[in-house]
Amino acid sequence: MKKRYYNATTKEWYTEGNSLTRRVNGALFSGVPSVEQLTAWGFVEWHEPEPTPEQLLERAKQQKIVELMAYDSSEAVNSFTIGNQTMWLTREDRTQIDESINAYEGVGATQMTKYFGGVAFTFPLVKWKAMLNALIVYASEALNVTESHRAAINSLLTVQEVEEYDFTVGYPSKLVFNLEDLT
């Protein structure tokens, strides 16, 4: 990592290895200065202050929440099984399927076919509704768990507590839909 230098008088920053142009004793200097030149011009090496315990705790919490959100959006939370296929329907997907169910009902249909991962699934509309409702409840409950973990992480008082906190617990059981039950 390159060293940084700061001149408190001129409020200038300099990064090691960069070119610098400045007027020195009536002459123009342009180039990469030596440490001796920087010192003569009033620059001192900048040392990043050690973070406070509060800053370390806040950084640990932020990192743990990043990990939590990655877990929340992973297949560990966002998946269900239908037949032999594991998949997930985003909120937009669920809304689109709900609109399709309503449209099919509106024209008097009693069943609907949807493709997921190249596989066709044909079920009665009442089964589609039941499956969709179960998915919406699951997604809502999973989100509640994620948000409760976020609140818990933010309430922790030490870096060690944050590092040891297990946010993978408490999620609802993943849904498994048997094809026989849906036809």
Residues 6+ apart with CB under 8 A from 152: 165
Contact 125, 110 (CB under 8 A): yes
Which pLDDT does position 64 carry in this prediction? 98
Handedness of CA 56, 57, 63, 64 (dihedral sign): positive
Contact 173, 134 (CB under 8 A): no
Q: What is the pLDDT along the chain (183 residues), one digit of tens a residue?
A: 899 999 999 999 999 999 999 988 889 999 999 999 999 999 999 998 999 999 999 999 999 999 999 999 999 999 999 988 999 999 999 999 999 999 999 999 999 999 988 899 999 999 999 999 999 999 999 999 999 999 999 999 999 999 999 999 999 999 999 988 777
Which pLDDT does position 31 carry in this prediction? 95
Cα-to-chain-centroid distance, residue 43: 40
Spell out a b/e string for 83-112, using b for 16 or more CB atoms within 10 Å of the CB, else e.
eeeeebbeeeebeebeeebeebeeeeeeeb
The ranges assigned to domains in the chain are: 4-46, 53-182
Bridge partners for 86 per DSSP: 81
Whole-angstrom Cα Rg for the chain: 30
Whole-angstrom distance, CA of residue 171 vs CA of residue 71:
11
Task: Report pTM.
Answer: 0.75
List Cα–Cα distances, 130 to 67, 87, 98, 101, 108, in angstroms. Answer: 32, 17, 11, 11, 18
155 exposure class (CB count in 10 Å sphere: 0-12, 13-18, 19+): exposed
Element (H, E) at 67: helix 53-72
